[in-house]
Amino acid sequence: MSTGSGADSAPAPIPDTMSATRTPGPARSPAADGAPADAGAAPRKDPGDTAGRRRPGTPRDRTAGDRTPRDGTAGHAAPDPDAPEPATSAPLAPQGATTAPGTPEAGPATGGRRLAPGAGAVALDGPKDPGRPAGRGGMFSSLSIRNYRLFASGAVISNTGTWMSRITQDWLVLSLTGSSAAVGITTAMQFLPMLLFGLYGGLIADRFAKRKLLFCTQSAMSLSGLLLAGLTLGGVVQVWHVYLAAFWTGLVTVVDNPTRQTFVSEMVGPDRVRNAVSLNSANFQSARLVGPAVASALTAAVGPGWAFLANGLSFLAPLTGLLLMRQSELHQIVPTPRRKGQLREGLNYVTGHPELIWPIVLIGFVGTFAFNFPIWLSAYANDIFHGGVGMYGLFNILMAAGSLIGALLAARRRSTRQRMLIAAGLTLGVLEAVASWAPSYWMFVVLVVPIGIVGMTTNVTANSSVQMATDPEMRGRVMSLFMMVFTGGTPLGGPLFGWLADSFGVRVSFCVGGLVCAAAAVAVGLMLVRAANLRIKVDLRRGRQHVQFVPRKELATAA
């Protein structure tokens, strides 16, 4: 079970955060938001009743719909009475999230329309995980759920087998052909199906029960590993066998990836999706540290066929975990019935929601321009620092260690904000540009680890933000588009940056990738600010110096 890496919070209507200070606005009635005045409203207190009044100096009690958090997360702004009502066709609040009686759902879908000032469209900061007390949780909170423990336990074994297979597969092709181009073809065969058929995988994930789908995909991956092991151990393997196995694995991944991504929310519920996504990434990176070393030792001792056999057998662990899961404890989503135009519906859904389309655009740039590490690290080890394969292995271990740290740090955060995604993408690009011109081996080594940390933070943040901003019945199609854009950039960016490295040097190639990533992060950040209908406000008065983003109407009033 190869686990993919990804703000898990549903966007709030007005993101007037990103500032150090904020003045709380007056409390609102439910009717002010378009809700019926008597719908779940609390009884009005008698003016003479002072029992429930706030004493001077004590915090004001606020409902969930009128919350102004102190941690910088976005709250609701008072609506403009002259503004048209926002569309309410597809609420973006996570399933299972609770709101106080009489308060509106958080984050109505915009349907692609720009909302009036005060109504909001995109949140740069999302609320904390809904429905979870502030003192509960932690870095490994998802492991308190039995079904997820079974899933994660099986994944750590199969992920190790997957990394063993990847290393052994590349070595086998190189030994059969003596050609690096053949190794590149193997990689392309594995990623090409996602680029061509990725959206169909998400459609399948939405239509069928995800636990049963995962049982089928994991069985198919096991069969691929066992067949390749039989051919290799029998001494009849040829390079086209490896190509075919890689293409078959890629086809299965088209369905497995979005199904696995969306199954996470069914196991842990909406309030722990971000934590579970982070732990999945940590799981995968842990296997990345162990799998290649085990594969190298096993191949050297008994041959590559046994490494393929170990990979095929490793899928028995997740298959057993799926069988042992308690269906009654799953947060099951009703499968989407089959009808015409569902692919187009998914694309229209994404393009109509800025909080979905722009993170996907950014992760596409990151995957295409900033994640070409096999090309860059191998060239730095061989051409710049003249260390050979041993140094290349060290760079990969350091990168995996940084990615593991980044995933664990992401698991500690209880909320994910759009500004975290933008900051991580910008930092990743800047670090790559700086590392590209590192004058010494030790400076480059020091920079590889933080690049791994920030790269994983970008991936996890984008993944969980897109999941939690998506309606459950659309999640499979949206996540398949996410993975198609992210991994589909590999067959495009690899040849491009390989050509740049050959023509102008690896330092130029690495620097260009980082600069494009940083520029994309800045551009996407500006687009999110624009979509949220915000403007920058600078207050330089004594004692109140700060810069913040505020709704356009508030800035005009202040002027």
- What's the pLDDT tens digit per position in 230-260? 999 999 999 999 999 999 999 999 999 888 8
Is residue 389 helix, strand or coil? Answer: helix
- With the CA atoms of 10, 14, 18 and 23 taken in that order, what torsion angle do they form, in degrees rounded to the nearest 10? -130
What's the CA gap between 194 and 479, in Å, rounded? 12
Q: Among 3.40.50.300, 3.90.226.10, 1.10.1040.10, 1.20.1250.20, what is the CATH number of 141-325+342-531?
A: 1.20.1250.20
Alpha-carbon distance 397 to 462, whole Å?
A: 24
Mean pLDDT of 338-367: 84
> What are the pLDDT digits (tens) for 478-528?
888 888 888 877 777 877 888 888 889 889 999 999 999 999 999 998 888
User: Model confidence over 437-465: pLDDT tens digits?
Assistant: 999 999 999 999 999 999 989 988 888 88
Cβ within 8 Å of residue 445, ≥6 positions away: 394, 395, 398
pLDDT of 173 reads 84
Angle CA(248)–CA(252)–CA(253) in degrees, nearest 5? Answer: 115
Residue 478 CA to residue 201 CA, distance in Å, equals 10
Mean pLDDT on 164-172: 83
What pLDDT digit, counting tens, does each position of 108-132 carry?
333 343 333 333 344 444 434 444 4
Q: What is the pLDDT, as a whole number, of residue 110?
A: 39
Q: What angle, 0 to 180 degrees and rounded to 10, lies between the N-to-C axes of helices 304-314 and 273-302?
A: 150
The confidence band for 473, taking pLDDT boundaries of 50, 70 and 90, is confident
User: With the CA atoms of 154, 157, 163 and 169 taken in that order, what torsion angle do they form, in degrees rounded to the nearest 10?
Assistant: -100
pLDDT band at 73 (very low <50, low <70, confident <90, very high): very low
Of 337 and 213, the structure prediction assigns the larger pLDDT to: 213
* Average pLDDT over all residues of the chain: 73
**pLDDT tens string 127-157:** 344 444 433 457 788 888 999 999 999 999 9
**Whole-angstrom distance, CA of residue 354 vs CA of residue 532:** 9
Q: Give CA–CA dist 202/200, Å, rounded.
A: 5
Q: Which residue has the higher pLDDT, 136 or 187?
A: 187
Q: What is the pLDDT of residue 189?
A: 84
**Residue with the two structure tokens 């089928």:** 216
Q: Over the stretch 410-421, which tens digit does the pLDDT of each residue have?
A: 877 766 677 888
3-state secondary structure of 257: helix
CB 110 within 8 A of CB 353: yes
pLDDT of residue 111: 39
pLDDT of residue 416: 62
Domain ranges of the chain: 141-325+342-531
pLDDT in the model for residue 550: 52
**Token pair 């909320």 in the structure block, residue:** 415
> Percentage of residues in the chain with pLDDT exceeding 90?
25
Rounded mean pLDDT, 388-406: 82
User: How many Å from the N-terminal Cα to the C-terminal Cα in the chain?
Assistant: 57
pLDDT confidence tier of residue 76, bands split at 50, 70 and 90: very low
Please give the share of the chain, as a percent, with pLDDT higher than 70. 68
| pLDDT(407) > 60 | yes
**Confidence at residue 100, expressed as pLDDT on a 0 to 100 scale:** 37
User: When comparing pLDDT for 77 and 330, which is higher?
Assistant: 330
| pLDDT of residue 16 exceeding 60 | no
Instruction: Give 162's DSSP letter.
Output: H
Q: Residue 431: which pLDDT band, with cuts at 50, 70 and 90?
A: very high
CA 248 to each of CA 150, 176, 186, 288: distance values in angstroms, whole numbers, following the listed order: 26, 20, 11, 22
- Region 378-391: mean pLDDT is 81
- Given a cut of 70, whether residue 534 has pLDDT beyond it is no
The pTM of the full predicted model, rounded to 2 decimals, is 0.61
